[in-house]
Amino acid sequence: MTLARFLLAVMLGALPEVASVDPILSYPPCLRYRHSPPGGAQYPDYRTPPSPLCPRRAVPVLRPHAFQAGHSPPPHPGRCPAGQPGANVTDLGSPCLRWAEVPPFLERSPPASWAQLRGQRHNFCWNLDGASRPWCFYVDARGQVDWSYCACRLGPSFPVLRLSGGSSVREGRVELYHAGQWGTICDDQWDDADAEVICRQLGLSGIAKAWNQAYFGEGSGPILLDEVLCTGNELSIEQCSKSSWGEHNCGHREDAGVSCTPLADGAIRLAGGKGSHEGRLEVYYRGQWGTVCDDGWTELNTYVVCRQLGFKYGKQASSSHFEESPGPIWLDDVSCSGKETSFLQCSRRQWGKHDCSHQEDVGITCYPGSNGYKPSLGFPVRLMDGENKKEGRVEVFISGQWGTVCDDGWTDKDAAVICRQLGYKGPAKARTMAYFGEGKGPIHMDNVECTGNERSLADCIKQDIGSHNCRHSEDAGVICDYFGKKESGNSHKESLSSVCGLRLLHRRQKRIIGGKNSLRGGWPWQVSLRLKSAHGDGRLLCGATLLSSCWVLTAAHCFKRYGNSSRNYVIRVGDYHTLVPEEFEEEIGVQQIVIHREYLPVSNDYDIALVKLQGLEEQCARFSSHVLPACLPLRREKPQKTASNCYITGWGDTGRAYSRTLQQAAIPLLPKRICEERYKGRFTGRMLCAGNLQEHKRMDSCQGDSGGPLMCERPGETWVVYGVTSWGYGCGAKDSPGVYTKVSAFVPWIKSVTKL
C-alpha cells in the first residue's frame, strides 16, 4: 500500500477495507468505451438526485463490516442489483470508484446522504434515499474525482431532469437531458398538473406549482419539448402527452419552471379516488395526513376546497366510493362562506376535536382540469392554437375525444360563456371561419345558443352532440379578456409616424409555400390590394407594402387585368384573417396609381408601382401596433451583404389553397448567377434572386402574394423592404427560385414620386 493510500484510509477510518485485496468489480464489456469518456462532459448538478424510480422507505445506517470479502452488498431499494449491466458503471461508461477511495475534498458536492457509504470497499452504484437513480464517484478525463448517475436502471427509463435558476433545489427552470445535451421546456399549456409530475419525478414532495414566461430566467441550448399535457398522475414527464422531441414554436422567454414547496400545516388533497380531482378530503397537520368529518358540510365548503386545489366547481361525494383512511380525523364542523381563499380560513373545531368515525369522512369530486384548460361543468373545454392561453380554437372533450364547435350562429355571447367557464372575467370576442386554424377529429357541436349568462357551454347545447352540417373550415374560436382596439393619443401617433420597420408584435412566430402562420400584427406594413366592392368583400389581387400613412409599394403587373383606374381598387390595412373583420382592419380608397414609366406588360423588368391612398396629407392610414410603415433601403444597397433574416409574407397559394390567414416564410437571398443561369436574359440587374432550392425546404411566394414584400432585418432590429414579389417559373418549383424587384434600384424614383 502506498503512503498516500494509507493516509487516506486513516482519514476515512476504513483501514481494514482499504487493506483488503478485494478486487473492484469490473464493468461489463458492453459498456466499455473504446476511448476515454469525452472531456468536460456535463453532468446533472443536483443537490438531491432526481426521479422516484424506487419507493421511499427507511434506510438503515450502513456499517463497514456489512460487506464481507467475496460477497455483494445486500439488496437495497437505492442500489443497482449485482450482476445487472451498469451496476458499477456511470452513464458514460466510466468505472465507479470504491466508496473507500473517494478523497475528502471534492470540487462538486455530491448528494448529502453519501456520508453513510464512506469506507465501503465495493463500487456498486447507490442512492440511499431510495427515491431516485443510483450514482457513484468516478475519475473524469481531467483526472478529477466527480460523481455521476449510473448506467443501470431500477424502473422505467425516464428522462434526466434538473431545476435551474431557482433560489433552492426545490424550484427552478425545468431542464431535460436528451440526446446528449440539456434543454428546456416551452410553457405552452404548462400548468400545475405538469408541475406535479416534475416534482414527483424529482422525488420532491409538497405542493407543486407551475411557473411560466421564464420566471426563473431564460435557459440556453435547445428547447426540447412543447405542449406538455400531463394529467398529474404520471410518474414521469415521458408518460405525458407532448410534442415530439425538439418540435416547438417558442423562444427561451417561454421556458417553463416549477416550484415544489414543502408541505405545511393546512395543505389539502383528495385521496383514494381515480385521480387528483376526486377522493376523500385530507388535510395535513403535524407531519400527518388526516380526514375531515362531514358534520355540517355544505356546498360552499366544497367550492372552497375545489378552488384551492385549482378547480372551478365540485360536488360532495360519498366517502364509501374511495379507499378508507387509516389516519386521524383532524377537523369537524367546518363552515365556509365561499369567499375564503384557503380552506383553513373557514370556521372549524380545534385540530383533532371531533365526534365522528371514518364512515363520516368528507368525499369530494372536483371537475377535473388539465391539458391546458380549467375544469368545467359538463365536459372539459380548452383553447388551442392561439397566440396565448386566453385565445384559440374552442375544443371540447366528449366521449373520450377532443373535438371542435361549428361557428353557425357563433356570437360574442357564446364566447362569454366559454371564457367564464375557463376562469376569465374580461370581455370576450367570438371568432369564426377557423380563425385559429382548422381542428382535427369530430365536430361535436353546431348551432350553440348562449344568452351569455350560462355557467358552462353544456347549458347552451340545443341539438344532439355530433349533429352538424359543417367542415373544420368553420371551427369556432374565442378571445378572452378582449379589450379591442385602443385609441392612441396624439403624441403616440406622432412617435409612430417618425419610425419605420418596427415590429411591435413579433415575439412568437407561429403558409406561402413552405411557410407558416404569422403572428397577428407581426408584419404591420403588410397590406393588400383588392378590387373595390360595395360590400367590402372585394377580391384579393395582390400584396403590397405600406411605406407611409399615404403611400403603398406594390408590383406594376398587379394592374394588368383591371387597368390603372384608381376607382377600381381599395387598400386594406391591418388585416390578418381575410374573412373575419378585425379591430385594426381598415379599407382605404385609392387616390392615385403610379406605374414605373419603363414597365411594359410583356416584360417583367421595372415591375414596380406606387399607390397613393385617399385622405389628408400623411393622415390616410391610422398607425397602431398592427399598422406601421416599412423602411426603404439605401440607394444601390446590396442586401446580400447587409441583410440577414429575410421573410416573405402574404395570403397566397399555400400549395393546397389560398390562405385565409397571413402567412410567412423565411427565405434566403441567392447569388444572382443562379437566376441568371435559370432565367437567362430575362433576369436583369434590377431584380433579386431568392428562395430555398433544397427539395424538402422549398419556399416561394405565389399568385396571391404578387406585389408583396420581401423583408430583411438590419442590425438594430429595423426591417427593410428589399424586394417586391414579381415573377418566377411555377410555384415552389424545383430549381426555380423566385424573382423580386430590387427596391434599392428604385429608391430615387420612389422618393421623387412620394416626396418621402
CATH number of the structural domain spanning residue 94: 2.40.20.10
CA–CA separation, 150 and 600 (whole Å):
73
CA–CA separation, 55 and 358 (whole Å):
27
CA–CA separation, 488 and 340 (whole Å):
40
513 grid coordinates: 409555400
Catalytic residue among 187, 361, 407, 607: 607
The DSSP bridge partners found for residue 546 are: 552
Model pLDDT for residues 732-743, shown as the tens digit of each residue: 666 778 899 999
CA–CA separation, 206 and 715 (whole Å):
48
Whether 70 shows a pLDDT value over 50: the answer reads no
Q: What is the pLDDT confidence band of residue 30, given thresholds at 50, 70 and 90?
A: very low
Assigned domain for 699 exists: yes
Average pLDDT over residues 387-400: 85
CA–CA separation, 1 and 4 (whole Å):
8
Assigned domain for 409 exists: yes
Residue 253 and residue 318 in one domain: no
Least confident range of 36-45, 212-221, 376-385: 36-45
Assigned domain for 515 exists: no
- List Cα–Cα distances, 718 to 340, 524, 646, in angstroms: 50, 13, 12
185 grid coordinates: 421546456
Q: Which CATH number is 609's domain given?
A: 2.40.10.10
Report pLDDT for 642: 59
Which domain, by its residues, includes 695? 639-752
Cell 416573405 identifies what position?
648
Residue 114 and residue 178 in one domain: no
- List Cα–Cα distances, 236 to 50, 125, 126, 270, in angstroms: 11, 22, 21, 21
C-beta neighbour count of 179 within 10 angstroms: 10
Report pLDDT for 496: 54
| Domain-ending residue, one of 261, 292, 319 | 261
Assigned domain for 581 exists: yes
Q: What is the pLDDT confidence band of residue 559, given thresholds at 50, 70 and 90?
A: very high
Residue 284 and residue 250 in one domain: no
459 grid coordinates: 347549458
Assigned domain for 622 exists: no
CA–CA separation, 660 and 580 (whole Å):
9
Residue 651 and residue 704 in one domain: yes
Model pLDDT for residues 620-642, shown as the tens digit of each residue: 999 888 899 999 998 877 776 65
Residue 5 and residue 108 in one domain: yes
Report pLDDT for 720: 92
Question: How many structural domains are present in the chain?
Answer: 6
CA–CA separation, 20 and 119 (whole Å):
12
Average pLDDT over residues 158-176: 86
CB within 8 A of 7, min separation 6: which ones?
Answer: none
* Dihedral sign for Cα atoms in the order 223, 229, 230, 236: negative
Q: Which CATH number is 386's domain given?
A: 3.10.250.10
Residue 122 and residue 213 in one domain: no
Higher pLDDT, 158 or 393: 393
* Active site annotation includes 557: yes
CA–CA separation, 126 and 752 (whole Å):
79
AA identity, residue 692: N
Catalytic residue among 277, 557, 577, 596: 557
Asked whether 560 and 607 are in contact (CB, 8 A), the reply is: no
Higher pLDDT, 603 or 57: 603
Whether 13 shows a pLDDT value over 60: the answer reads no
Residue 68 and residue 121 in one domain: yes
Assigned domain for 161 exists: no
Residue 140 and residue 206 in one domain: no
* Active site annotation includes 45: no
Report pLDDT for 694: 66
| Domain-ending residue, one of 333, 366, 399 | 366
Report pLDDT for 513: 46
Catalytic residue among 325, 624, 706, 726: 706
Average pLDDT over residues 536-558: 90
Least confident range of 196-200, 224-228, 378-382, 537-541: 378-382
Residue 584 and residue 661 in one domain: no
Higher pLDDT, 667 or 152: 667
Question: What b-and-e string marks burial along 464-502, b requiring 16 or more CB atoms within 10 Å of the CB?
Answer: eeeebebebebbbbbbbebeeeeeeeeeebeebeeebbb
Report pLDDT for 199: 87
Helical H segments across 157-226, by residue range? 192-201
Higher pLDDT, 57 or 645: 645
Residue 324 and residue 404 in one domain: no
Among candidate residues 650, 629, 639, 656, the one with its CA nearest the CA of residue 690: 639
CA–CA separation, 107 and 146 (whole Å):
7
Asked whether 395 and 381 are in contact (CB, 8 A), the reply is: yes
AA identity, residue 106: L
AA identity, residue 590: V
CA–CA separation, 199 and 206 (whole Å):
8
Residue 105 and residue 176 in one domain: no
Assigned domain for 502 exists: no
